[in-house]
Amino acid sequence: MSGTFVGMPAFPEAAHEAVHNATLRGNLRHATHTIRSKRAKAVAEVSDWAALREAGKQIKDHTLRHLHRYLVQLEESVTAAGGTVHWAADADEANRIVAELVKMTGESEVVKVKSMATQEIGLNEALEAEGIRAYETDLAELIVQLGKDRPSHILVPAIHRNRGEIRDIFAREMSEWGRPAPEGLTDTPSELAEAARLHLREKFLRAKVGISGANFMVAETGTLVVVESEGNGRMCLTLPETLISVVGIEKIVPTWQDLEVFLQTLPRSSTAERMNPYTSTWTGTTDEDGPQTFHLVLLDNGRTDTLADEVGRQALRCIRCSACLNVCPVYERAGGHAYGSVYPGPIGAILSPQLRGIQSEIDASLPYASSLCGACYEVCPVAIDIPEVLVHLRERVVEGGLTTRDGNKVVLKPAKGHAAERAAMRAARWAFSHPGALRTGQRLASRTRRFHPRTLPGPGKAWSASRDLPAVPAEPFRDWWQRTQGGKADSK
Amino acid sequence: MSSRDVILGRVRRAIADVRQDDTPYEQAVDRSYLREHGARSVAETVDLLAENLADYRAVVHRCQAGELAATIAGLLTERGAETVVAPVGLDEAWLAATDATRVPDRLGSTPHELDAVDSVVTACAVAIAETGTIVLDGGPDQGRRRITLVPDHHICVVRVPDQVVSSVPQALERLDPARPLTWISGPSATSDIELDRVEGVHGPRTLEVVLVSDQARAEVSS
């Protein structure tokens, strides 16, 4: 996965900066709390939520356990319906395939409906390098693109921007990309939305090539599903002559009937609506309606490596609803950018290090970007035990061990920066298995307690910067136990 | 080796821990969730549809079959619509009372031409009460997907109670996955700016749903 934002610092550093940005924190707090309470209401409306959640989990788990079979079935049904299937092992290959397909149409611009997979692989930049301009058409994505910014939320990628900032971005940048913003544009949301409508409509009406992702792919029928609100998805899926969909291999469900689970749980978990304004499904191509050429690019890019991890593979159940972001106390304060990936929040903290591996500093830090409070697990509509995976990945970061990269088993070295932690644990193990040495050490510690520093030097400094060191007791517990016979004799 | 083989090979190795006699799909999923939520009479289901459509800021009208042409004509006049696009298979009688110029849903018409049309009138395939959703399947009385997308005003006719189901599972049973489907719940909307809901970014900004009941049928079934 090439989606690391270039030059991204590790999470603690990025988060440290973000928490001092008062505007960002204000915007985020407002957003997450609003969606959070609306979601709780929408979920309470359906009495069988727990059963739907369990069914969603089981469908996804079953699919992942037989993924090769369903991938082949999907390929057959998409092909039978008039589509062409391409396989991409990594980001570079996917980008190459898409660029090639666009070039074959003779076009030099494409319209895109928000797709996390194409963000993950950096498709826009790859197309730009080939002389193809990709226009993001989701309002939030447009704000991000025009602002030369990065998305910070799965569902509402520009949530870190307030209306004043958006107005300024539109007024300044729209003319660079096409129709300029109207004169005297104010910062009311309806006026801003109207400006986006006019700006984008020009592009939709002339577009010959559309690029999309998909929320679901049905193996049985070859049907793809896109769930959205604005209609930009419908524009991209129906007006162009050629449609290219780039979709992660984990987005499969076996049957048409399975959609009945996810079309109930996704909207309520995500936008807290009974149903999102628009859902489009298409099966290959349809004569005289919509694109006459359809390409499906099936993307691996670290997904099979994630699948190989028996604990971590449950992250592939994710349906990208973003409920976990909105309840996360860490996300609320640190903001989406700190996660250094298109997948922010709790799900990002377990997905990015698995898709990309934990070699980089940011990826090694992500499993620690959590208080392990468990709220993310509670709200997850497919019951991903995010805390369990976080703890599992922390172990992998500290201890190293067997993992899979690009399909090969490799033994990971412990990540850098955790040497002190590891050394401390090793020392503890030795001390606890050598009682004599432990006793001597404890007595020494008690006798010298007046001289102990309040903070740790060297590698322990970061740990003690935010904590007080525990005071060493005047007498070691074991000495006290022996002296008083476990408290029976008179204590001091 | 092709990337197809590479990926499928990786998948097989990744799930090597899965037992060969793993539970088949039919038994893997516990489908004890509900087929619909709550018990309602047919009339109550239609009322719920109207309520949920309105809650999502669609404008809901109700009329008898005999009044449909007048109702549609009234809505077009109110809107000031001079042109209306209609699918080829739409019941001719529905547009009999309007003066608006009819634009056919032609294969050759460009998106720009459609953009100049004031309104669109279609039927639907099914409507879902619990979610306030209408579903179009591209049938002859619904037309190509783009005609309900580009014009700014969409009038959709739902025959009640025939075309109304309670829930999402019931709707999927009725729909054909081979057809291109468009599920519509209220007009186009965005909440991307500070979570303020704004109607109409790209799809029609006004959605009017006409619930037309067949009086004769209603009497038989009651």
Residue A289 gets which letter from DSSP?
B
Query: What Å distances lie between residue A424 and A257, A420, A429, A430, B128, CA to CA?
Result: 53, 6, 9, 10, 61
Contact: B192, A310; criterion CB under 8 Å: no
What is the rounded end-to-end Cα distance, in angstroms, of chain A? 62
Residue B155: the pLDDT is 98
Q: Which of A201, A277, A300 sits opposite B10 (nearest CB)?
A: A300
**pLDDT at residue B174 above 50?**
yes
| Structure confidence at residue A439 as a pLDDT band (50, 70, 90) | confident
Q: Is A322 left (phi over 0), alpha (psi -120 to 50) or beta?
A: left
Cα(B61)–Cα(B70) distance, integer angstroms? 12
**pLDDT at residue A19 above 90?**
no
**pLDDT at residue A423 above 60?**
yes
Residue A284: the pLDDT is 98
Q: Which two tokens stand for residue A202?
A: 């020009």
Contacts of B203 in chain A (CB under 8 A): 230-231, 234, 277-278
Q: At what angle do helices A259-270 and A22-44 cross, to 10 degrees?
A: 140
Q: Compare A478 and A238 and report the one with higher pLDDT.
A: A238
**pLDDT at residue B140 above 50?**
yes
Contact: A280, B33; criterion CB under 8 Å: no
Cα atoms in the Cβ-side hemisphere of radius 13 Å centred on A114: 26
Q: Compare A27 and A139 and report the one with higher pLDDT.
A: A139
Contact: A193, B145; criterion CB under 8 Å: no
Whether the CB of B132 is below 8 Å from some CB of chain A: the reply is yes
| Structure confidence at residue A300 as a pLDDT band (50, 70, 90) | very high
Contact: A260, B15; criterion CB under 8 Å: no
Contacts of B110 in chain A (CB under 8 A): 205
Which residue type sits at B136?
L
How high does pLDDT run on average in chain A? 92
CA nearest to A200 within chain B? B202
Tell me the shortest Cα–Cα distance from A480 to chain B, in angstroms: 51
Residue A1: the pLDDT is 46
**pLDDT at residue A491 above 70?**
no
Cα(A309)–Cα(A486) distance, integer angstroms? 47
Residue from A11, A250, A12 nearest A120 by CA: A250
How much of chain A exceeds pLDDT 70, in percent? 95
Contact: B198, A189; criterion CB under 8 Å: yes
Over its C-alpha atoms, chain B yields an Rg (Å, rounded) of 22
pLDDT per residue as tens digits for the range B8-63: 999 999 999 887 778 899 999 999 999 999 999 999 999 999 999 999 999 999 99
Average pLDDT over residues B129-137: 98
pLDDT per residue as tens digits for the range A156-179: 899 889 999 999 999 999 999 999
pLDDT per residue as tens digits for the range A225-268: 999 999 999 999 999 999 999 999 999 999 999 999 999 999 99
pLDDT per residue as tens digits for the range A321-375: 999 999 999 999 999 999 999 999 999 999 999 999 998 889 999 999 999 999 9
| Structure confidence at residue A2 as a pLDDT band (50, 70, 90) | very low
**pLDDT at residue A58 above 90?**
yes
Q: How many beta carbons lie within 10 A of that of residue A130, not counting itself?
A: 14
Cα(A160)–Cα(A239) distance, integer angstroms? 31
**pLDDT at residue B222 above 70?**
no
Cβ(A3)–Cβ(A363) below 8 Å = no
Cβ(A89)–Cβ(B6) below 8 Å = yes
Residue A449: the pLDDT is 83
Q: What's the sign of the alpha-carbon dihedral A433, A437, A441, A443? A: positive
ipTM: 0.95
Q: Is A485 left (phi over 0), alpha (psi -120 to 50) or beta?
A: left
Q: What is the 3-state secondary structure (H, E, C) of A421-438?
A: HHHHHHHHHHHHCCHHHH
b/e map of B114-132 (b: 16 or more CB within 10 Å)?
beebbbbbbbbbbbbbbbb
Q: Compare A460 and B69 and report the one with higher pLDDT.
A: B69
| Structure confidence at residue B216 as a pLDDT band (50, 70, 90) | low
Q: Mutating which of A186, A273, A306, A309 best tests the B interface, going by the most B Cβ atoms within 10 A?
A: A273
Contact: B149, A66; criterion CB under 8 Å: no
